[in-house]
Every structure is written in C-alpha cells, then in structure tokens.
Amino acid sequence: QKEVEQNSGPLSVPEGAIASLNCTYSDRGSQSFFWYRQYSGKSPELIMFIYSNGDKEDGRFTAQLNKASQYVSLLIRDSQPSDSATYLCAVITAGGTSYGKLTFGQGTILTVHP
Amino acid sequence: ETGVTQTPRHLVMGMTNKKSLKCEQHLGHNAMYWYKQSAKKPLELMFVYNFKEQTENNSVPSRFSPECPNSSHLFLHLHTLQPEDSALYLCASSGQGAPRDTQYFGPGTRLTVL
C-alpha cells in the first residue's frame, strides 16, 4: 500500500466550477498535511497546510482533514484556467521536531477548461 | 536573492563526468533536503540535513554524494551517473516555527545524463 495516495487524474473541470482533490494516507501518526501546486517544468509551490481536523480556508482554497478516516482534501472554488497544474498532497509524521520527512503522493493533474 | 536558489538550472553530463549541484537558502532555516523527481513518479526524498548533520539517507546510491558545509548551503556531488538518473533535482529547506515543518522548494536542476 502506498503511503500517500492520490488519483492521478486528469481531473477536468469547467471554469468557475469547484475542483475537488482527494488524498489518503496510511500512517495514523501523521501530524502535518500539505498541498503543493506544481506547474509543468516548475518546482512545487505551497498552497495550504493543515494540522487539525476540520476545514481551513484561504481565499478560493479550502483544505479538509479527517484524521479518523485518514483523508485530506483540497477544494478550489471558482476554478480558473491558471489553476491548471499538478496538485501534490504531502504528509509528515515527525511531530515536535524542527524538521520532518515529507512523503508525497504522485499528484493529481487538474485541467480547468474555459 | 530570496527563498531557495539552485544552480545550475540545467545540466547535461556524460556518465564519466563529475559535476556538482548547489543549493542556497535565504530563509534562516536549519534543515535542508534533496529530492529527485522523475517522470510519472512521486517526489523521492534523497537526503536530509538538520543543523549541518545528515539525518536521512534514503538508500541513495553512492554515486550521489551530499555535502552541507553550513545551514544555508547544500551541495550534491555527482559522479559516474547512469542515464536513469536523469531527472529534476529539487532542494528544499524548512525551519522551526509556524508553519511547522513546511518545506520551501528551490526551482530545481534539470539533469540529463547521456
């Protein structure tokens, strides 16, 4: 079983719609959860981080965490063509230290069409 | 310079060459990382340095040799590489404080081994 699993997609949504990206993880000790966006040929760029169960909103982005179900998701409201990218879910288990081992999913390719 | 910088951005080398990748972080972080990103595969953690000490070597072949002279600089020395080592090599850094354990990536070095 992969440690962090994402549907590779591609996920295609029309402009203005809500894009829903999902991620599951296997380690119950996981403490910190991140969503990165990666444009083709570029490096990953942090979008959101979440530590506690529930929702966290930042502009058009909402991260949702359910530790009991070992599930984290990212919602993108009012999707724009510029949101077209690969979205990486990353999970870290080393809580309480100044660094941690990030484990990445394989990423979900999102395409927003006009 | 701000954030995390990497040089060179592109590198083509033969299997008998020796080259080095350089990473520098301007964020005051204490942990630095090397990742490998190959096509169709998740980001793979290679090495972790915390306060200049190597704390993780993720079963990386000895033809990759990291060096961390201080908390701001990280090198990856390459020798007798194989064509399958062609990939995007990403450097990242993280530090204490909020957001905890968040890693910030450099732009990457696109390596091609002939």
Determine how many CB atoms are found less than 10 A away from the CB of residue A23.
26
B31 vs A57, A79, B5, B93, B104, CA distance in Å? 28, 35, 15, 5, 11
Q: Is the peptide bond before A10 cis (omega within 30 degrees of 0)?
A: yes
Question: CA-nearest residue of chain A to B42?
Answer: A106
In chain A, which residues have their Cβ closer than 8 Å to the Cβ of B42? Answer: 4, 104-107
Query: What whole-number distance in Å separates Cα of residue B96 and Cα of residue A70?
Result: 25
Q: Which pLDDT tens digit goes with each residue over A92-114?
A: 865 444 456 788 999 999 999 99
Please choose, from the candidates A83, A95, A69, A89, the residue with its C-alpha nearest in 3D space to the C-alpha of residue A12.
Answer: A83
User: Within 10 A of B7 (CB to CB), how many other CB atoms are there?
Assistant: 13
Each residue's pLDDT tens digit, B28-65:
888 899 999 998 788 999 998 887 777 777 789 999 99
Count CB-CB contacts under 10 A for residue B107.
Answer: 17
Q: Is A1 on the interface with B (CB under 8 A)?
A: no
